[in-house]
Amino acid sequence: MKPDELRRRFEKLTTAHLTDGCIRARLQVRCAPAGTRGAVGGRVAGRVLPARHAGSVDVFLEALMGAEEGDVLVVDNGGRLDESCVGDLVAIEAAKAGAAGIVIWGLHRDTADLRVIGLPVFSLGSLPTGPLTLTDRAANALESARVGEWEVTTDDLVFGDDDGVVFVPAAEADDVFRLAESIRDTERRQAELIRGGKTLREQVRFAEFLRAREANPALTFREHLRAVGGAIEE
């Protein structure tokens, strides 16, 4: 999926829709750790451009040498909360390289300058101090990045909004988007019906489910939803 189409389709979705799409597609849901939020810019979407930080900016510069238009620099700083690893210079460089944003498993700084630059930046928060230590660079520093419990590569797409950040395999993106769009449309119809006076309980025939469960205690709500065509979760 080309960067423009990716952004266009994500504009009408949320990360919540995408995670639901992953579940429906029987894919592992891979979210960045809770607390990962947009410091600048509300949304980001693009191919993962990984970089493992080891205390020096050179790894970011090298990663950006191979950037394609619309890539998102995904920085692995081990989730450290005692130092920041990305500031204004990296953000400017990333923007000039055509990157669509930056996602950090760690902290950022220079928040005021980042707002002026305008490139979307997602992180665990901010801290004034930059890198405190210099370590040996990992052999795979430009091949993959770890974000929480997940390892991501250029074979992955990354999406961020007000709820956080989620990673989706690029090869599965079309299917995930199709399912996410279907879920979105279903939820919108259900919300409109609620506003019009028909409760969600009525829509999903919840009283009927409770009666059926009395007869069959093993019956799950999801099974009932599939049977009545009112699936809102999977």
Strands 145-147, 30-31: pairing kind = unpaired
Is 90 labeled as ligand-binding? yes
Is 18 labeled as ligand-binding? no
Q: Which candidate, 184, 170, 230, places its Cα nearest to that of 206?
A: 230
Give backbone dihedrals phi and psi of 233, rounded to 5 degrees, phi first.
-155, 160
Give backbone dihedrals phi and psi of 138, rounded to 5 degrees, phi first.
-65, 145
Is 118 labeled as ligand-binding? no
Is 38 labeled as ligand-binding? no
Helix, strand, or coil (residue 224)? helix
Is 155 labeled as ligand-binding? no
Is 48 labeled as ligand-binding? no
**What is the three-state SS of 15-30?**
HHHHHHHHHHCCCCCE
Which residues does the annotation place in the binding site?
A: 87-90, 109-110
Which residues does the annotation place in the binding site for Mg(2+)?
A: 110
Which residues does the annotation place in the binding site for substrate?
A: 87-90, 109
